[in-house]
Structures are given as structure tokens and as C-alpha cells.
Amino acid sequence: MVLLIFLGGLGVSMLIGLPVAFSLLVTGVLMMLWMDVFDPQILADTMYNGADSFPLMAIPFFLLAGELMSVGGMSKRIVTLITSLLGHVRGGLGYAAVIASVLMASLSGSAVADAAAIGVLLIPMMREAGYDVPRATGLIAAGGVIAPIIPPSIAFIIFGVAANVSIIDLFLAGVTPGILMGLWLIIIWSFLARRESVSVTEWPGWGVVGRSVMAGIWALLMPVIIVGGLKFGVFTPTEASVVAIAYALFVGGVVYRELSVAKILEACKDAAIMSASVMFLVAAAALTGWLVTVAQLPFLLVDVLEQLIETPRLLMLVIVVLVLVIGMVMDFVPTVLILTPVLMPLIKIAGIDPVYFGVVFVMSTAVGLLTPPVGVVLNVACGIGGVSMEQGSRGVAPFVLMQVTLLLLLVAAPQLVLTPLNWLR
């Protein structure tokens, strides 16, 4: 009965239009009433303790760093650098979009921010060159979802706190799968680009390329500093987020000289709004997660999937399919917060490496950012590209299919994640 209240309360609340955080809060109250443990003090303490976490401090800092990088010119220079190198190649703007997505992912950790920044710069260029705009929009949206996988990843921070898994290990484990996601997109684009009847720009010359490299090198140093510092133990993920802010302020204000007081204040405001939304969601999910544990719902799931525990790969396949389906109707962060406390006990019983599971799980939820009707990143890209959701869905379909095949490959071959992780450790 508690399971029905959990699913029913959450489903009905979301169907009537309540924001996900309030839906989780309502569901938690209903579960407390049914279990006869309702106490406003417990409710408040559980929510407060859920958000009172040192690692979670990295979220507002990384969000602010991403905003500062965008308004400070770092994002623009990365795109300029890649287009100067590849703009003269057939389909080159598409390749530039993917490579820029991988590089941008290593700066901000936000799928929506990356897709928006790249889309604003490249979609008008691709439209003018004669590219199929819905397909170009789908490509940029698909590139955006690399951000939750490559460090610094806000999704890994949330999952690491919810699952009590090392965030540094998650960051290091995400490097190879994130690069593979970009490689997969390049492979499918290389086939699709042959059908594009587009114009290409002239080779700008080594002088222009050299100036683009010199301008972009400061932005390209950011992931080296962050990943290198984490690998060699110079700083924790939370400290890394503060380093990212300091570096973004220095590059944007001193090197590029595009940061003004007004832009910094605007970046702080936008980061504060996003941070408040995420942290309230984390607090509400902490209440629901605690009640899920008290009600022993994970053990009910263990009973249902008990026959799969002896076959970890089949269990992972079922979980991936489940998350892909849920991702079609639920946003990224609530999916992670709701499912993590339910699935982690099952993962531990099955003997699956929790870091490997975290990478595959987050990748599966990231694909949901591209699938309608929710598809937040696809919605943003469609808005920038001026195409309908239906057109964008057709354009992104081949890229979603490729990402799903990569997920299946990682399920079949966990060493693709674990071997590079052990080396980076």
C-alpha cells in the first residue's frame, strides 16, 4: 500500500501541474500520514539535513562558474576556435558542434547551458550554410547531454551525495564515456552529413587559426586544471568549483576583458535562481528518500527483481530500459533523486560497482533530456533553432538511437568504464 501511495501521490501531483519538488513534498507528507509518523519537526529536519551537505556546495559554485564562462567570452572562443579549424570541411559545422560540446561539457557541467550557448552561435551559421535545421538542432541538443557525464558534472555531484559514492571517482569515471558519446555523435554525423547539400567556408589560413588557438587556449586550460587537480588530490570537487569561479573571473575579466560588474551580478542572479531550484528539489527528495527507506520499498523491489540479481548485466539492462522510459516523462534531477535510494540497495546486493552503475545510470537519465514530451534540452534547442518539437524530435532521433547503442555497449562491457577509471585513479 505504501508503494501505491508513493507512486500515486507522485503521479497525481505531477499530472495536476505541481512542480516536481512540491510533488515530492506532498508525496512525503502522504506517506508519513499513512505510516503514522507525521511530525512537522521530522519533516523540517529531514529536508534540512538533506540539503546540508558539503559536497552539494559545489552545485551553486559550478553553476556560477558556468555562467561566468558564458558571459566572459570563454564559450564563444571555444566555438570560434573549432569552427576555424573545421568550417571548411563538408559537414564541418556539425563536427564543430560535437567537439565544442565535449569541450564545453568540461567547463560548465550543465546540459541546458551548453546546448544554449552552442546553439545560439552555431544554429544560425548552419541555417545560413544550408544545413537541415531540425537535424542540426537535434545534433546540438544531443551534444548538450554530454555535459552531465564529463566532469565537472552537477549530475554526478547529486548522485554521489544521494548514493554515498565518491564524487571524485564518478568524475574520473565519466571522462571516457563522455568522450565516447562525442565519438558516437561524430560517427553518425559523418553518415548524415553526406546527404547535406551545404556550402562550406574557405580555409581561413594559419594566421586566423593561430589567433583562434591563442584566444581559446585559456578556456581549454580549465578542464586540465579541474581534472588534474582532482586526480592528484590538490583539491576536492567542492574546492574545484571555487577554483573554477576564480579562473573564470580571471580569464573573463583580465585576459578577455569582457566581464563587467553588471555581467557578474547578472551571472550571480541566474546561478542563484538555478541553485535554489536544485537545492529545494534535493531537500524534498531527501524526505521522500528517507521514507522510502523506512517503508522498506527497496526490499520490495529486490523481491520483484530477485531472479536478476545473479545476472548483473541483465539487471543493468532492465534498469537502463526502466530509466529510459521514466526519462520520457520526468526531468533529469528528480529522476536521479527519486530512483537512486530505491536502486542502490539492489545494486549492492548484485555486486555491481557503484561508480560504474552511477555512470550508466546518469547517462540513461541524460538521454531523457532529449526525448519528448519533457526533453528539456531538446526544448531549449528547438526554441533557439525556431523549429517545432515534432521537427526537433525527428532531427534528434538518430542521435538518441546512437546514444542508446552506446549505453547497451557499456552494459555489455563494464570494463569500458572501470579500466580507464582504475588507470586515472
**How confident is the model over 57-84, as a mean pLDDT?**
83
Give dist(CA 67, CA 58) in Å, integer. 14
User: Quick one: pLDDT at residue 16?
Assistant: 81
Looking at residue 202, the DSSP 8-state letter turns out to be: P
Local confidence band at 66 (pLDDT 50, 70, 90 cut-offs)? confident
**Look-up of cell digits 544531443:** 142
Span of 6-10, 178-182, 377-381 with lowest mean pLDDT:
6-10
Residue 149 has pLDDT above 90, yes or no: yes
**How confident is the model over 110-134, as a mean pLDDT?**
83
Residue 19 has pLDDT above 80, yes or no: no
- Cβ(105)–Cβ(147) below 8 Å: yes
Written as one letter, the residue type at 7 is L
Written as one letter, the residue type at 291 is L
Residue 200 has pLDDT above 70, yes or no: no
User: Quick one: pLDDT at residue 373?
Assistant: 65
Written as one letter, the residue type at 209 is V
Residue 153 has pLDDT above 80, yes or no: yes
Cβ neighbour number for residue 348 with a 10 Å cutoff: 13
Span of 136-145, 253-262, 297-306, 368-377 with lowest mean pLDDT:
297-306
User: Quick one: pLDDT at residue 359?
Assistant: 96
User: Quick one: pLDDT at residue 50?
Assistant: 76
- Cβ(68)–Cβ(252) below 8 Å: yes
User: Quick one: pLDDT at residue 298?
Assistant: 62
- Minimal CA–CA distance to 247: which of 107, 79, 82, 77? 107
User: Quick one: pLDDT at residue 42?
Assistant: 82
Residue 17 has pLDDT above 70, yes or no: yes
- Cβ(152)–Cβ(237) below 8 Å: yes
Give dist(CA 249, CA 243) in Å, integer. 10
**How confident is the model over 21-48, as a mean pLDDT?**
83
User: Quick one: pLDDT at residue 329?
Assistant: 65
Residue 424 has pLDDT above 70, yes or no: yes
Q: Which 3-state string (H, E, C) describes 21-72?
A: HHHHHHHHHHHHHHCCCCCHHHHHHHHHHHHCCCHHHHHHHHHHHHHHHHHC
pLDDT in tens, 292-344: 777 766 666 666 676 777 888 999 999 999 888 887 767 777 788 888 888 88
